[in-house]
Amino acid sequence: MSLAVKDVLKMAQAQLERNNIADAKLSSELIFMYLMGIDKMGFFKLWGTMLDDYMCDRYLDIINERAGGKPLQYITGEQEFMGFCFKVNPDVLIPRQDTEILTAEVVSLVNEKGKKTSHVLDLGCGSGAIGLSIAKLCDNAKVTLSDISKAAVETAKKNASALSAGRKVSFVAGNWFEPFNKRFRRVKFDFIVSNPPYIKSRELSELQTEIKDHEPLLALDGGLDGLAYFRKIVPKAHLHLNKGGVVALEIGSGQANDVLAIAAECGVYKDVRVLKDFAGLDRVVVLRI
């Protein structure tokens, strides 16, 4: 027996609401559009039609996954970031709006250099959202994307291909700066940008089910105090920067002073700035040598 699309959608919305899924109505609609391979206009055209049993079952199976906490982005396999569509999967962190602040700042700094080529390192690139956005938005940027996760690097490569950014980017699999410590010299960049793991280990269990049970722990766990990877990046970043180079880092709320203290101990960073997010919280640290 077939059911009306509008009735199936109502059933799905109700199930998501019972499971405390935010934006239940929007999620139910987006999942339907994803399953049917249609856009918003196609959705409106099907609203009053009937859906056969097979498609009803497939749709409600996916709704069950969403009700169980699986992120919508991992269901549809994509997330918008900086105006571009990125492929995402459980091997990579889902790009967030707050990270656009970090990306936009680096885009601005790169573009300030005019036609002079800027070499940018996206350290811990994940899906490649930061580095590939910079490559697309800056004509003068050459971007290297690096991650310890080979699966993440493969995802970033697919995104580069989908965005036709291949000629401007290169990829490296390795642990932080290790791939750039060559036998006779270090590889250097004009900009190093990173969104490292910064959540305290003991706070991981307090995160939303969507995050703690589905997104990669490797991209979340920042150690006992959440600062473990800032201690790996900040003291070594200047060794991989050209004169006047910049390192820009996303930070967790309340971490600005600690990260600035780590930078101060290095004694090489002269221009230091902290940028706030849309909620007025410290979100990005910018350090220039």
- Say how many residues make up the chain: 289
- The Cα 96–Cα 199 span in angstroms is 15
What is the Cα–Cα distance from 231 to 250, expressed in whole angstroms?
A: 14
Residue 1 has pLDDT above 60, yes or no: no
Rounded to an integer, what distance in angstroms lies between the CA atom of residue 47 and that of residue 199? 42
| % of the chain surpassing 70 pLDDT | 99
Nearest of 105, 99, 215, 103 to residue 149 by alpha carbon: 215
Mean pLDDT for the stretch of residues 66-94: 96
Give the per-residue pLDDT at 255. Answer: 97
* Tens digits of residue pLDDT in 50-79: 998 999 999 999 999 999 999 999 999 999
What ranges in 77-186 are assigned the alpha helix state H?
A: 99-112, 129-137, 150-162
Give the integer Cα–Cα distance in Å for 100 and 47. 35
CB-CB contact of 172 with 144 (8 Å):
yes
63, 17 contact by CB (below 8 A): no
As a whole number of angstroms, the distance between CA 93 and CA 13 comes to 26
Q: What is the pLDDT of residue 182?
A: 84
Q: Is the pTM of this model over 0.85?
A: yes
How much is the average pLDDT of 150-174? 96
Contacts of residue 51, Cβ cutoff 8 Å, sequence gap at least 6: 2, 3, 4, 5, 8, 59
**Can you give the pLDDT at residue 257?**
97
Dihedral pair phi/psi, residue 228, rounded to 5°:
-55, -40
Please give the residue that has the higher pLDDT: either 113 or 269.
269
Which residues, at least 6 apart from 193, have a Cβ–Cβ distance to it below 8 Å?
Answer: 102, 103, 106, 120, 121, 122, 123, 130, 131, 134, 247, 248, 249
CA-to-CA dists, residue 2 to 7, 43, 54, 174, angstroms: 11, 18, 9, 52
pLDDT at position 47 over 90: no
Contacts 24+ apart (CB under 8 A), 256-263: 256/282, 256/285, 258/225, 258/227, 258/230, 259/227, 259/230, 259/234, 259/285, 260/285, 262/227, 262/230, 262/231, 262/234, 262/235, 263/234, 263/287
